[in-house]
Structure 1
């Protein structure tokens, strides 16, 4: 055969690829390749050292006796495949947890054979999902989970609670509620913050909770120094666990709020002038630490404090993790059983809490098991409000002023007048110096009060603002049914 009669290498590669893989695009325009009959999809432009589509295509061509091709032919073929795939239907890819057909939810076990757990209204089973129903995306953070055990009769939950050092039964039921929430792809869940004295096993407990969802390779990590690296780490896994937090900057606090409830990051695509790269993310977040200092009000509404205590009997790491690995299939099976039972319960959604979806989940868990997780969640948020107030002198000053307001009445002034009044109330007759961070203008005071609105409302102090023909105003009032006020001292 003459050289002119030979089929070009790029066409040989393209024909082989289209007969062995399915190509599609996501909403952001990224093209993925999915081996026929297998649920795992890989971006065709991935240049990773292991597991890239380019590598699996080269291996397939070689093993099937088609040939070995140079980089130019491979690049031209992939360019053509990518262009053709941009005309295909849009389909999302998921990490670890995904919605399925007929109200089902899928959990990726991270196995090479693609077997996953399908959670449906009648129960759960293990199967390979239809590639058009679920497309899994895997990264280096995607660990393998064991096959969950059937018919556990709740033994796995008891085993998990024995391994962790939770201080109270209320903490235990909140931890269980969070784990169930992690199996729901569309419900934001608050971030557990594991606290306790030194030696309480906070890092160990955080690893145990994380590895139920992420497998034995799941681990805690230090908080990245900048938001860009944090977003990259969040986008590559499902549960993001940050260890040993001792200080929380405003930027890190805002980033955590976005991670819990969802946000989108847009930045310029590499090697382009006008293209952008979009990254949407909403992930379960877990934190550990003894004390992070002052907690901002917006983050406090998204936290779930879980207190641990020092164990009475110490065990070696090897013994502890050997027992955990042995119990993990039963723990996962019990969690799946409980998830099915909880989702089957119909309850009213509490409307007075910021994380209403998680509050609804707690109410379902209580109805299914008799736990008191919703009451425990309310109490935990109340404790967090106390922490916010104790760390914010402006909030304490507003509460001190509100103590002299008759319930059901309001006081209205401009922001500048309120700043002058609250400053005099704080400094007192002894003219104490103002603390660092005290508002310096009426605009700064107005912004601080907006951020403190939920915290103060939990103490029966309502902040409102508006405008009249004379100008803008801020109104402070006490609710007629205000809760008992804690007298603040400075």
Structure 2
């Protein structure tokens, strides 16, 4: 029996024998009618929360087939079943008509949630193995098992590849044979891998850096393949928002390789993807209909210059440093990936073991303060407690450094840092006049320079969090003054000895003031470092001395 005949037989539809005249009877029906009948016999129809029509086999593995797509689509399955039934290829128009009818049936059903690769249900984590059987791994506190019939609906895409069956008894130590990260960064990598199984939380974005020859591209591929193997484990940078949506929706983990720059639209798109925020766009083939594009994904970056990253994305990054690979330790592609296939089941099993342990540990984890990406910070602290590492301190230190690095990409903030030596108080318009060079009209504003007071206000509000992390006091009065115009107060970090106030020296005073809190502690004693009671970042000493306990903007 052919595979197509098995599909029809499994659906309870008899494969016709040309000799018994059944084929002639079927030919009296329209092709679209036969297709709809085949679909009804073989599948139950549904619609996802995002409006996607799908079918689930009535018998066999509960694998979701989206209505349209490639070889894994319901359309392709019906075309195969039709040929098995009448020994003819289904006409294109008949397929189109049948799919329209199926869509109508599906729209009568209540929306259902479709998952991609990972899910949480019934108090457990689930990992889709991606194979034809529809099996999934069930992970609960203390252990994991492989289940034949998971209680969640997993959808597959053209990129989805099967995972190997995980093997018990593996060790995460084997992972570092494939990922040559700085040992101090390893807890961050482990925590990020564990966080992949939490589909409802915002995910930080690893940014891989290192010298040429440190294996950044290979590391990005391995990190994505561990939990979510696809046909494109490393992808080039998308050229526009549309191509980004196409690339990102095809898998749970998206690894972008060799990024030369980070355009603002891509920075915003990545931030929305890792937090699950949506966007609205016009529906294809319509003039006025709108659709909401909303998805949450885990993203890996490779090669981006941290100085070119905007503050909102910098808050979500995990800079990971790769060590150089010696010539004696390099592997050629033809031996690298076969070795990976052999090690993958053990490494996956070790990751699942760590997830089960973290799930047991998390209820008792408490953070002294909650930084940005607090969910990830809790997972990281759980990994630290289980492994005896200090990854959380490493992560927080990197976050402070990133805030500083992101400011150097903003020409206006750099100009502010060069111009302001003491406290500035005034309106956005006055600040713009202060920092704009007076060069007899010869000066030309560089790209990214705010041209209006409103643009300055927008810029300051966006950059206030990283500026505070770098040691600045950034406050506004909300217009609560006699002129009703918002007045800003900007105070740079304390000067260091020998600081001349130039841009170069600002790298040790303001923009690069990542050690501001520790410096203040050394100079004035620990009691002088007062954290904001809301955001947790340190108050400027002048504000703390005045009795303030929060940033006014908090």
Report the Cα distance in structure 1 between the residues aligned to 2:267 and 2:116, rounded to whole angstroms.
24
Question: Which among 324, 328, 343 is matched to residue 327 of structure 1?
Answer: 343
Question: Which among 38, 55, 59 is matched to residue 76 of structure 2?
Answer: 55
Q: Are 1:240 and 2:283 an aligned pair? A: no
Structure 1 residue 320: deviation in Å?
Answer: 2.6
2:428–2:488 contact (8 Å) kept in structure 1: no
1:26–1:93 contact (8 Å) kept in structure 2: yes
- 3-state SS of 1:472 partner: coil
Structure 1 residue 215: deviation in Å?
Answer: 2.3
Q: Highest relative contact order (Cα 8 Å, sep 6+), 1 or 2?
A: 1
1:248–1:292 contact (8 Å) kept in structure 2: no
Uncovered stretches (5+) of structure 1, i.e. residues with no partner: 406-410
- 3-state SS of 1:29 partner: coil
Structure 1 residue 116: deviation in Å?
Answer: 1.5
Match of 1:112 in 2: 132
- 3-state SS of 1:417 partner: helix
Q: Are 1:129 and 2:149 an aligned pair? A: yes
2:48–2:112 contact (8 Å) kept in structure 1: yes
Match of 2:457 in 1: 446
Q: Are 1:138 and 2:159 an aligned pair? A: no
Question: Which among 10, 20, 27 is matched to residue 42 of structure 2?
Answer: 20
- Higher-Rg member (1/2): 2
Report the Cα distance in structure 1 between the residues aligned to 2:444 and 2:29, rounded to whole angstroms.
81
Q: Are 1:103 and 2:126 an aligned pair? A: no
Report the Cα distance in structure 2 between the residues aligned to 1:291 and 1:70, rounded to whole angstroms.
52
Q: Are 1:148 and 2:162 an aligned pair? A: no
Report the Cα distance in structure 2 between the residues aligned to 1:94 and 1:356, rounded to whole angstroms.
24
Alignment RMSD: 3.1
Residues 6, 203 of structure 1: alpha-carbon distance in 2 compared, 3 angstrom cutoff? closer
- 3-state SS of 1:57 partner: helix
Structure 1 residue 288: deviation in Å?
Answer: 0.7
Question: Which among 395, 407, 417 is matched to residue 430 of structure 2?
Answer: 417
Structure 1 residue 193: deviation in Å?
Answer: 0.5
2:35–2:98 contact (8 Å) kept in structure 1: yes
1:350–1:360 contact (8 Å) kept in structure 2: no
2:207–2:304 contact (8 Å) kept in structure 1: no
Provide the TM-score with structure 1 as the length reference.
Answer: 0.87
**Residue range with higher mean Cα deviation, 346-355 or 9-18:** 9-18
Question: Which among 382, 385, 410 is matched to residue 364 of structure 1?
Answer: 382
Match of 1:355 in 2: 373
Match of 1:177 in 2: 191
Aligned residues: 470
Match of 1:464 in 2: 475
Report the Cα distance in structure 2 between the residues aligned to 1:362 and 1:4, rounded to whole angstroms.
62
Residues 148, 483 of structure 1: alpha-carbon distance in 2 compared, 3 angstrom cutoff? farther
Q: Are 1:42 and 2:65 an aligned pair? A: yes
Provide the TM-score with structure 2 as the length reference.
Answer: 0.77
Report the Cα distance in structure 2 between the residues aligned to 1:5 and 1:382, rounded to whole angstroms.
71
**Residue range with higher mean Cα deviation, 14-23 or 360-369:** 14-23
1:268–1:274 contact (8 Å) kept in structure 2: yes
Deviation string 1:237-264 (CA, Å, 9 cap, x unpaired) is 1111111112112222222222222222
Q: Are 1:191 and 2:191 an aligned pair? A: no
Within 5 A, what are the aligned runs for 1:187-226? 187-215=201-229, 217-226=231-240
1:402–1:461 contact (8 Å) kept in structure 2: no
Residues 432, 161 of structure 1: alpha-carbon distance in 2 compared, 3 angstrom cutoff? farther
**Residue range with higher mean Cα deviation, 9-18 or 369-378:** 9-18
Structure 1 residue 136: deviation in Å?
Answer: 1.6
**Residue range with higher mean Cα deviation, 351-360 or 201-210:** 351-360
Question: Which among 233, 258, 269 is matched to residue 283 of structure 2?
Answer: 269
Residues 6, 344 of structure 1: alpha-carbon distance in 2 compared, 3 angstrom cutoff? same
Match of 1:29 in 2: 51
Structure 1 residue 291: deviation in Å?
Answer: 3.0
Match of 1:408 in 2: none
Uncovered stretches (5+) of structure 2, i.e. residues with no partner: 1-20, 504-554
Residues 349, 76 of structure 1: alpha-carbon distance in 2 compared, 3 angstrom cutoff? same
Residues 402, 181 of structure 1: alpha-carbon distance in 2 compared, 3 angstrom cutoff? farther
1:196–1:290 contact (8 Å) kept in structure 2: no
Report the Cα distance in structure 1 between the residues aligned to 2:75 and 2:258, rounded to whole angstroms.
39
